[in-house]
Chain A
Amino acid sequence: MADTLTTHGNGHAAHHGDYLDDPKGLASWLTTVDHKRIGLMYMWSVFFFFLVGGIFALLVRIELLTPKQTIMTAEMYNRVFTLHGAIMVFLVIIPAIPAALGNFALPLLLGAKDVAFPKLNLASLYVYWTGALMAVTTLALGGVDTGWTFYTPYSSTTGGGVTLMVLAAFVLGFSSIFTGVNFIATIHKLRAPGMGWFEMPLFCWGMYSTALIQILATPVLAITLLLLCMERVLSIGIFDPQLGGDPVLFQHFFWFYSHPAVYIMILPAFAVISEVIPTFSKKTIFGYKAIAFSSVAIALLGFLVWAHHMFTAGMSLFAGAIFSFITFFIAIPSAIKVFNWIATMWRGSISLEAPMLHAISFLLIFTIGGLTGLFLAALSTDVHLHDTYFVVSHFHYVMAGSNLIAFLAGIHYWWPKMFGRMYNKRLAAIGAALVFLGFNATFLPQFVLGSRGMPRRYYNYLPEFQSLHVASTIGSWILASGLFLIGAYLLASLRQPKSMVANPWGGRTLEWETDSPPTTHNFEGQPVLQHGPYDYRANPAPVGVEEHIH
């Protein structure tokens, strides 16, 4: 009996439609409450905005090719980098892994039929689209030139579409909160029978801690942005010093959200990497509990360090020293994870498939990004490095490099599960290499630029900085070509017939127990967990699947 259960993989596809085709038609997608379809729609949206944000990035880099004007005016430049930042942060990096991959994979990994609140899930997608539409509309209103952080008092007085952009971020915050609420409830209540908290795949712990931050931090951003709108529309006087307000209050509020939010961007990356590394090392993850708890520790510690973004904003030396001190602690849980991943790979039988290639580039890039955080966390060096390209490079390493490369790892990992097709593995290896090289070529020079004093967000610069800027711009083209290549072979794979086996990578988590692509209801019955997620012993127990309930 056990055999028929574990091989049930593709066998049933004939009489149960897979979720991609059953039911058919655009309307069925737009009204679906299936988490897998919602995940895919998020994924396509994120790809789209990644393209838009990426084009803005290339424009910024081209402008910086020469010390003086290259292709656009200074006003244009301000708008382009603001849109680049706002789109990438609010529309791409924050939703990429949780909303796209998380929605697709989380219920499958838990052995659940869906997330806890399927309708809320669909609502969050529509809220996302609404926010995205508002953000893009600001282009028609003359754009936004404040930078993605919307610092007051400039943001409360400058023209253009700032009010609409800020409202867009407010709306997008709700989408993020909905997803967070949904994931926490799902993890608490919908785990398969037999799956204790410590039998959950680590991806779920990552989503759980991300969701914690989403619900604890996003409301603070929401209210801050609302106050900023009121400031602009009614001059309520909260941030405007001329009316008795306090502009630094905005920074406190903003970073009380946005520092934890940087972990909204990195914890999901950890989550993906924790799945990919054991699968392609064929080894039980090293230090399961350390990885699980360090995610939660990061989520909570993240709330104590916001003011390290404001060392130079007129804080008292004492407060600065305290915040600097606590900031150093944040590095510890991340270091624990890196150690555990490397220990997992140690003496594993590693196969260098595309997801694993991205995971390895993640390890290198994240280490650089994390370590440079320490330079910024130290009060004395930050005074020199603050608002220079060093900071730009630091956060690109951790946000773009780590988050997006982990996203790519996850996409390549679950692609066969999502679509039942495999991409061209040769091209995938080339793509991973191009992204890694291009990324480092773009951002390593920026560390040097920053440490030599090149300020961020400047339109023109001194001629001696030019060679490094040129290197960085060329790097951006290599990066872009890698990403285009990846997009191309992924799309090309969709033209093949669906022929994927249930478990192409030999993974041990529940999503590999069902068809590729899964049926509409995920599993034939209710799976009951009989072994842990990283059980790579020679003869592990198979997962039992209950017979049809619904």
Chain B
Amino acid sequence: MSTATHTTSADHGHSPFLQHHFRDMDQQFNTAKIGMWLFLVTEILMFGGLFIGYGIMHASHPQAFLAAHHHLDRTMGAINTIVLLFSSFTMVMAIWAAQTSRKGLVILFLVITLLCAATFMGVKYSEYSHKFHEGLLPGKYYTHEGDTVPGQFLFFSFYFMMTGLHGIHVLLGMVVISWLIFRAVRGDFGPDYYGPLDVTGLYWHLVDLIWIYLFPLMYLIS
């Protein structure tokens, strides 16, 4: 017959961040990671739908897409690519700083990440307002004059859908990173507890990755 087994978990009662339904911090950390990975899969699939739609429309209107993409500013796009890549790096450094108990550095790296994100949005803002000004808008709001190839609005339909959705993800990331900064200042993170930094990092890398696909697809068509 059975005997009851006592497992008194070593971590139990030690970390104030252990939620009641987990046995120990490891289990909690790994669960959070699985959750984030699954969420990222859904994100990739969602953007995947847009990428496929873009591919199909590009294939059926190649001249319009080629002509339209000249209206995008490659320099701006390139700057934003570098900014995002760098912010992914500082995000990783923030996790490293937490693992090695450097509270000041955690805050510093998170703030740099946040500033990069803000820079990205600033550049996007100036790109968008320029496009708005020239009437380079999606669908029926497209009023740009002097086009030689018809149907260029289709390109901008996708441009705004895809960069817009991506931008929303950057904004969401900024909200989460600000919250992390708040918690870092409070002193929540250390070698025993850095899960939230880690999963936010995963999210942030995905936002970066999607941009890395968007940039050549939209700005560098040939």
Q: Which residues of A contact B4 (CB under 8 A)?
A: 1-2, 5, 525, 528, 544-547
Of all chain B residues, the one with the shortest Cβ separation from A244 is B151
Q: Which residues of B contact A230 (CB under 8 A)?
A: 138-139, 157, 161
CA distance A182 to B30 in the complex (A): 13
Interfacial residues of chain B within 92-130, with CB under 8 A of chain A in the complex: none
Q: Which residues of A contact B49 (CB under 8 A)?
A: 219-220, 223-224, 227, 253
Report the minimum CB–CB distance from B84 to chain A (whole Å).
22
Q: Which residues of B contact A189 (CB under 8 A)?
A: 27, 30-31, 34
CA distance A224 to B22 in the complex (A): 37
State whether the Cβ of B14 lies closer than 8 Å to any Cβ in chain A. Answer: no
Q: Which residues of B contact A (CB under 8 A)?
A: 1-9, 12, 19-23, 27, 30-31, 34-35, 38-39, 41-43, 45-50, 53, 56-57, 60-61, 138-141, 151, 153-154, 157, 161
Within 8 Å by CB of A185, from B20, B38, B42, B151, lies B38
Q: Which residues of A contact B57 (CB under 8 A)?
A: 238, 244-245
State whether the Cβ of A116 lies closer than 8 Å to any Cβ in chain B. Answer: yes
Of all chain A residues, the one with the shortest Cβ separation from B154 is A237
Of all chain A residues, the one with the shortest Cβ separation from B39 is A181
State whether the Cβ of A543 lies closer than 8 Å to any Cβ in chain B. Answer: yes
A-B contact pairs, 7 of them (CB 8 A): A1-B3, A219-B42, A227-B53, A234-B140, A246-B60, A541-B2, A549-B23
User: Hey, what's the 0/1 contact readout for A179-190 against B, CB within 8 Å counting as 1?
Assistant: 011101100111
State whether the Cβ of A222 lies closer than 8 Å to any Cβ in chain B. Answer: yes
Q: Which residues of A contact B30 (CB under 8 A)?
A: 189
In the A-B complex, the 7 residue pairs with the smallest Cβ-Cβ separation, listed nearest first, are A236-B157, A223-B49, A234-B139, A113-B21, A219-B46, A219-B45, A114-B21
CA distance A118 to B43 in the complex (A): 21
CA distance A181 to B31 in the complex (A): 11
CA distance A222 to B12 in the complex (A): 41
Report the minimum CB–CB distance from B29 to chain A (whole Å).
10
Q: Which residues of B contact A2 (CB under 8 A)?
A: 1-4
Q: A2-B2, A215-B42 are in contact. Are A236 and B34 (CB under 8 A)?
A: no
Of all chain B residues, the one with the shortest Cβ separation from A550 is B20
CA distance A530 to B140 in the complex (A): 66
CA distance A218 to B44 in the complex (A): 12
State whether the Cβ of A249 lies closer than 8 Å to any Cβ in chain B. Answer: yes
Of all chain A residues, the one with the shortest Cβ separation from B50 is A223
Instruction: Please tell me the size bucket of the interface on A.
Output: 35 or more
Report the minimum CB–CB distance from B222 to chain A (whole Å).
22
Within 8 Å by CB of A218, from B34, B42, B141, lies B42
CA distance A117 to B34 in the complex (A): 11
Q: Which residues of A contact B (CB under 8 A)?
A: 1-2, 5, 112-118, 120, 177, 180-182, 184-185, 188-190, 193, 215-216, 218-220, 222-224, 226-227, 230-231, 234-238, 243-246, 249, 253, 521, 525-526, 528, 530, 541-547, 549-550
Of all chain B residues, the one with the shortest Cβ separation from A221 is B49
Of all chain A residues, the one with the shortest Cβ separation from B141 is A234
Q: Is the CB of B46 within 8 A of A220?
A: yes
CA distance A113 to B7 in the complex (A): 16
Report the minimum CB–CB distance from B200 to chain A (whole Å).
15
Q: Is the CB of B35 within 8 A of A181?
A: yes
CA distance A541 to B41 in the complex (A): 41
Within 8 Å by CB of B161, from A113, A227, A543, A544, lies A227
Q: Which residues of B contact A227 (CB under 8 A)?
A: 49-50, 53, 161
Q: Which residues of A contact B43 (CB under 8 A)?
A: 219
CA distance A243 to B7 in the complex (A): 66
Q: Is the CB of A116 within 8 A of B139?
A: no
Q: Which residues of A contact B2 (CB under 8 A)?
A: 2, 5, 530, 541-544
Q: A2-B2, A234-B139 are in contact. Are A216 and B157 (CB under 8 A)?
A: no
Q: Which residues of B contact A525 (CB under 8 A)?
A: 4
Q: Which residues of B contact A115 (CB under 8 A)?
A: 21
Q: Is the CB of B140 within 8 A of A549?
A: no
CA distance A213 to B50 in the complex (A): 19
CA distance A182 to B36 in the complex (A): 10
Report the minimum CB–CB distance from A361 to chain B (whole Å).
35
Q: Which residues of A contact B154 (CB under 8 A)?
A: 236-238, 243-245
Report the minimum CB–CB distance from A69 to chain B (whole Å).
38
